[in-house]
Amino acid sequence: MSSSDQKNSSPPPEDAVSRREFLLRLGITGALIAGSGLAARKLWQPKHFVPGFEEQRGMQLRSYAPEISKVLPSLAVAHGTEHEKTIRAALAALGGMERFIQNGDVVMIKPNVAFDRPPALAATTHPDALRAVAKLCFEAGAHKVIVADNPINSPTGCFLKSGLTAVVAEMNLELMYPETNSFAPLSLAGEVLKEWTFFNSPFKQATKVIGLAPCKDHNLCHASMTTKNWYGLLGGRRNQFHQHIHSIVSDFALMMKPTLVILDGMSVLMSNGPTGGRLSDVKVMNTIVAGTDMIAVDSYGYSKLLERDIAELTYLHKANDRGLGNINWKDTLHKEVTA
Amino acid sequence: MKLKFNPQDLLKLRNVRRVAQVFFFTLFLFFVFVTDLRYLKGYPVSLFLELDPLVAFATAITTHTVYMGLMWSLLLILPTLLFGRIFCNWICPYGILHHVTGWLLGKSRAEERERIEANRYKKLYALKYVILIAMIAAAIGGTLQIGWLDPICLFHRSMSTVILPLINLFMPSNIYVRQYFHVGAWVIGFILLFLVGMNLIIPRFFCRVLCPLGAFLGTLSSVALWRIDRDTTKCVDCDLCLKSCEGASDPQTQLRKSECFVCFNCIEDCPEDALSFKFMPSLKREVTAPAVTGRRAFIGTLIGLGFYAFARTSGASDRNYDKKVIRPPGSVEEKDFLDRCIKCDQCIRTCPTNVLQPALMESGLEGIWTPILNMKIGFCEVNCTLCGQVCPTGAIQRVTIEEKTGTGPFAKEGPIKLGTAFFDRGRCLPWAMETPCVVCEEVCPVSPKAIFSREVTITKRDGTPITLRQPYMDPALCIGCGICEHECPVTDEAAVRVTAVGETRSRDRRLLMDGGVTSAVTDLEKRQR
């Protein structure tokens, strides 16, 4: 290439384009041409899709259930007047908290704090119950205890006024609010629940899951106990659940395989549930039910604490029929104690 | 390395450009005209939008994809990187509109000195880069706003909502079988008049000052290998090259590469033959990059991000969504819609019932001029997906009739629903006024009908009994097409009205729970037995 000759023959000297500059400018333009072509090819969406009908594939939730024991009871009922003593007694009857929680475990406790209510109204998990369960977890060697719920009312208000925020601070627990980034899509082969937004952030750490629910009347599905408690793990348009409430609640028994559920029947919301609002709605029953089968626990709660006919509680029957639990709590290995 | 043209060639080149301008302008008008059910056939009526690299680039930022035909924009990027902004004065129909109107109305026919002064570069011309930066910043934030000023979007929108209805108004049935109406068309009309009229004051005002596509192509032109070059040994500084300079790119001194429209007028106008279109001339005789300061770029970024944040946190695309934001069939979920819609209003042009209307504030600041359905004016034709066929960006996906109606292989998924119709019993003739009607049930296009009626016998005010049918809605079957609302005899505010809730495009806005058998369907099965 005789570029130097050409350079010399070009009229004004400032016109000279050196070989380096020539290649550089050619290279920049060429790179931009090639770059835009490659980028467009990589980003190309050659086909349309049908909005709203895209295939969804959410996460699967693993089981947190303990090993099945043929010796130890799967259901324990304890009667007593104080939360801590009664919960201790119930757990002792099941074989101790050590059966469920081991050294180093991260325990997620799911209370029911759906409403902005003081503890006396029995619409939310009682702070004394949370304190007792958290204490037992730490005694069994738990490394950390997470408390999380996605309430109906404002989360901060619910946790604060139910008294749980104070217990969290006192016991050095971790409170997880349902924040924007706390959710992930969940896939389930439920009767109605197939794909839903799930409150996932506690489960990134948790190795054990304990459901700690109050025993309550419910206007639509008759009762809110340990199975219905998992409602608070879901996000999205939950107000659609009411269209198929019994199917949905029974699907919760498929979705969640907890380590342990505890039904707090010390004070039971007998009427005007699930919100309550008057002390006259609350009845003192001085009972804690704990167990590994939430359907059995709830069947005890419905018949013995809410004192109603189990035949009408459709969701328990649905779960029982699908093999997700045993509605005949008397047939399970159970133990009744007094604190 | 040097392309030099003799006068005859130059004359040819200028004329070649004029031929190209006439061709592309006519092609644009042809596409606008045939965007109609009767003539559409298979014409690529959104080709100019698909060629528009700013549309492809900005939607790639917001969606991380290049939708279907937007790949064609590479055809424009390539010559721009080689030759500069040839699009602006050779192809762009909106540029040609301003070129021609500027020539007809403006300084182009004034005295020579005045013309030269009108075509000198002004600092104001850097404004378009700030506009582009603001729009890209908004896109990075997550809202697509190029449609406000992108010339192809702007021109298509003006044609669809202003020019064609205007032609039809003066010459009835020349464009539409029945006159089309567009909500808020007057705003778009006055903007068009203003932009065209500004050519009286500054020639090519829109192209030089506002055009974000021009700014985008100008930025790409920085690396163009060919440009207009001035031979300083021949130049006598007469400035005659400015006489017809379209871009105001200072060919009389250091050429502003990003401003040059490559119209070639200056080459012909130069009496000394000092100007030529040259391959890789020295960088010393050009202003390579657009003249936009860092401070202005920063302000542009702030405006763009601020626009996104202020608009998004106003909530119109989220919890506070308006019941009137009923999007065309195949539309993506609302936030994705705002990521894709360029407000070109091609869907509005092609809609055979005139139901599609440019939104004003219904979908918030971000959604101005995006399409929404107005059932008072039209209704969504069940067996029609034209809006999705012409949408260049996939805001309305190119769904098929089977996908829309949930038939054939899509029977399991069910139909695309635009919303749900609700009865207003206080306005309904059989419900409130002892008068038989149920037009709504008659026109309901789905099978089995979403609207059903129950026969009742009531005692009228005068004591005589009357038997009539009172209509009900089955929300599981309603697709939100709005023909019930459109045909309701209560024409000012119909007794059955569609609102957006229940639309399938958004899982958050559905009315009935997915996967569940609703009582309404059970009810229907009972009635069929």
Phi, psi for A125 (deg, rounded to 5) = -60, 135
What pLDDT shows up at residue A238?
A: 92
What pLDDT shows up at residue A3?
A: 42
Nearest-CB residue to B514 (from A25, A49, A194): A194
Residue B523 has pLDDT above 50, yes or no: no
Residue in chain B lying closest to A194 (CA): B515
Region B479-500: mean pLDDT is: 97
Chain A: give the shortest CA distance to residue B331, in Å: 7
Return the domain boundaries, chain B. Answer: 7-287, 410-529
Q: Is A44 on the interface with B (CB under 8 A)?
A: yes
Which residues of A fall within a CB distance of 8 Å from B60? 39-40, 43
Alpha helices by DSSP H, listed for B149-184, are 151-158, 164-170
Of chain B, the percentage scoring pLDDT greater than 90 comes to 84
Return the domain boundaries, chain A. Answer: 75-338
Least confident segment among A5-9, A158-162, B6-10, B204-208: A5-9
Nearest-CB residue to B518 (from A11, A33, A243): A243
What pLDDT shows up at residue A2?
A: 39
What pLDDT shows up at residue A7?
A: 43
Which residues of A fall within a CB distance of 8 Å from B56? 40
Q: Is A254 on the interface with B (CB under 8 A)?
A: no
What pLDDT shows up at residue A12?
A: 53
What pLDDT shows up at residue B369?
A: 97
What pLDDT shows up at residue B141?
A: 95
Indicate the pLDDT class of residue A70, thresholds 50, 70 and 90. Answer: confident
Residue A215 has pLDDT above 50, yes or no: yes
DSSP code string of A107-119: EEEEE---S---G
Residue holding tokens 């009347």? A217
Indicate the pLDDT class of residue B15, thresholds 50, 70 and 90. Answer: confident
- What contacts B228, CB < 8 A, 6 or more positions away? B249, B251, B255, B260, B262, B264, B266, B267, B275, B276, B277, B278
Which residues of A fall within a CB distance of 8 Å from B280? 17, 22, 25-26
Q: Is B225 on the interface with A (CB under 8 A)?
A: yes
Interface touch B516/A52, C-beta < 8 Å: no
Least confident segment among A191-195, B66-70, B417-421: A191-195
Nearest-CB residue to A32 (from B81, B413, B513): B81
Residue B515 has pLDDT above 70, yes or no: no
Say how far apart CA B163 and CA B169 lie, in whole Å.
Answer: 10
Of chain B, the percentage scoring pLDDT greater than 70 comes to 94
Q: Are A126 and A215 in contact (CB under 8 A)?
A: no
Q: Is A5 on the interface with B (CB under 8 A)?
A: no
Which residues 397-426 in chain B show a CB within 8 A of chain A? 397-399, 403, 410, 413, 416
Say how far apart CA B19 and CA B305 lie, in whole Å.
Answer: 42
Q: pLDDT by residue (tens digit) across B114-155?
A: 899 999 999 999 999 999 999 999 999 999 999 999 999 999
Long-range contact list for B508-511, CB < 8 A, 24+ apart? B508/A236, B508/A237, B509/B321, B509/B334, B510/A237, B510/A240, B511/B420, B511/B475
Which residues of B fall within a CB distance of 8 Å from A28? 223
Nearest-CB residue to B403 (from A37, A50, A195): A50
Name the pairing type of β-strands A195-199 and A183-187.
antiparallel
Domain spanning B410-529 has what CATH number?
3.30.70
Q: Are A163 and A118 in contact (CB under 8 A)?
A: yes
- Mutation target to probe the A interface, by most A beta carbons within 10 A, among B83, B223, B418 is B223
Secondary structure of residue B469 in the 3-state scheme = strand
Q: Is B391 on the interface with A (CB under 8 A)?
A: no
Which residues of B fall within a CB distance of 8 Å from A318? none
Say how far apart CA B260 and CA B257 lie, in whole Å.
Answer: 6
Interface touch B333/A11, C-beta < 8 Å: no
What pLDDT shows up at residue B527?
A: 44
Nearest-CB residue to B280 (from A14, A17, A46): A17
Nearest-CB residue to B506 (from A28, A52, A192): A52
The single-letter DSSP state of residue A54 is -
Q: Which fold has domain A75-338?
A: Rossmann fold (3.40.50)
Q: Is A189 on the interface with B (CB under 8 A)?
A: no
Q: pLDDT by residue (tens digit) across B32-89?
A: 999 999 999 899 999 999 999 999 999 999 999 999 999 999 999 999 999 999 999 9
Which residues on neighbouring strands pair with residue A216, listed in sequence order? A224, A269
What pLDDT shows up at residue B519?
A: 43
Residue B377 has pLDDT above 70, yes or no: yes
Say how far apart CA B388 and CA B394 lie, in whole Å.
Answer: 7
Chain B: give the shortest CA distance to residue A157, in Å: 21
Pairwise pLDDT comparison (B106 vs B449), residue with the higher score: B449
Interface touch A40/B66, C-beta < 8 Å: yes
What pLDDT shows up at residue A69?
A: 87
Q: Is B73 on the interface with A (CB under 8 A)?
A: yes
Residue B309 has pLDDT above 80, yes or no: yes
Nearest-CB residue to B516 (from A33, A195, A244): A244
Residue in chain B lying closest to A235 (CA): B508
Of chain A, the percentage scoring pLDDT greater than 90 comes to 88
Q: Is A23 on the interface with B (CB under 8 A)?
A: no
Q: Is B74 on the interface with A (CB under 8 A)?
A: yes
Indicate the pLDDT class of residue B13, thresholds 50, 70 and 90. Answer: confident
What pLDDT shows up at residue B105?
A: 80
Q: Is B335 on the interface with A (CB under 8 A)?
A: no
Count of CA atoms in the C-beta half-sphere (13 A) of B69:
19
Nearest-CB residue to B505 (from A28, A52, A240): A52
* Average pLDDT across chain A, whole number: 93
Region B258-280: mean pLDDT is: 93
Q: pLDDT by residue (tens digit) across A245-282?
A: 999 999 999 999 999 999 999 999 999 989 999 999 99
The amino acid sitting at B118 is A
Region A228-238: mean pLDDT is: 95
What pLDDT shows up at residue B517?
A: 57
Which residues of B fall within a CB distance of 8 Å from A15? 281-282
What pLDDT shows up at residue B180?
A: 97
- Mutation target to probe the A interface, by most A beta carbons within 10 A, among B77, B513, B521, B522 is B513
Interface touch B66/A15, C-beta < 8 Å: no
Residue A143 has pLDDT above 60, yes or no: yes
What pLDDT shows up at residue B107?
A: 66
Residue A8 has pLDDT above 90, yes or no: no
Say how far apart CA B494 and CA B462 lie, in whole Å.
Answer: 27
What pLDDT shows up at residue A117?
A: 94
What pLDDT shows up at residue B8?
A: 64
Residue in chain B lying closest to A246 (CA): B516
Nearest-CB residue to A43 (from B65, B512, B516): B65
Q: What is the pTM of this model?
A: 0.90
Chain A to chain B, count of Cβ pairs less than 8 Å apart?
120
